[in-house]
Amino acid sequence: MPRCLWVGFYLGFSAYAMVEGYIVREMEKGDIDRILEIERESFRLPWSRALFLDEFTRDYSHTYVVCDREKGEVQGFIIFWVLFDECHILNISVAKAMRRRGLGEKLMQRCEKIAKSKGASYLYLEVREGNQPAINLYGKLGFRFVGLRRGYYTDTGEDGWVMIKNIKKKVT
């Protein structure tokens, strides 16, 4: 096998093995301290503890973390609402040191699975127009740009992109 194919195979396999060492589970209140650390290193306007705690009071809110299978350390989280046929992704973040290893994708996949099981037809979210890592992640997973919210982010005045992914099976 040519050397570049070996290298490609090895890199692909390592990323797969890496993600396999992590599980996605429901968020617990005891995770909040670690989640606040990840939130603060990820966003200019981080959510407060109270905002995270509020999510536990909403029956339409779904909160998951991704953590190390053996040590149990939380390295990322996702929060989404499933209401009627729509699923709104409100927050997703992966610890800075753990990015680009497939954990964000793993969280998004769990979100889609839950949304489908609850009968949602589509997933949607808002993302800063300059947030290329997130835009690439959503694009890779099949989201498409459907509209602009002008000046949506009040700290910088940045526009928000609205992105959608249809998840309802087409009847043929």
- Going by C-beta distance under 8 Å and a sequence separation of 6 or more, which residues neighbour residue 164? 122, 123, 124, 143, 144, 146
d(CA 78, CA 162): 18
Give the one residue of 37, 86, 105, 129 binding ligand COA; rule: CB under 6 A: 105
Q: Does 159 bind ligand COA (CB under 6 A)?
A: no
- For the chain, give the longest Cα–Cα distance: 56
Give the one residue of 61, 121, 131, 166 binding ligand COA; rule: CB under 6 A: 131
Q: Does 132 bind ligand COA (CB under 6 A)?
A: yes
**Least distance from ligand COA to the Cβ atom of residue 43, Å:** 6
SS3 label, residue 43:
coil
Is the CB of 37 or the CB of 105 nearer to ligand COA?
A: 105
What Cα–Cα distance (Å) separates residue 22 from each residue in 38, 65, 131, 168? 17, 10, 25, 28
Q: Does 65 bind ligand COA (CB under 6 A)?
A: no
Could you tell me the two tokens for 117?
């099981």
Contact mark string toward ligand COA, 24..63, x via CB under 6 A: ------------------x---------------------
Q: Does 136 bind ligand COA (CB under 6 A)?
A: yes
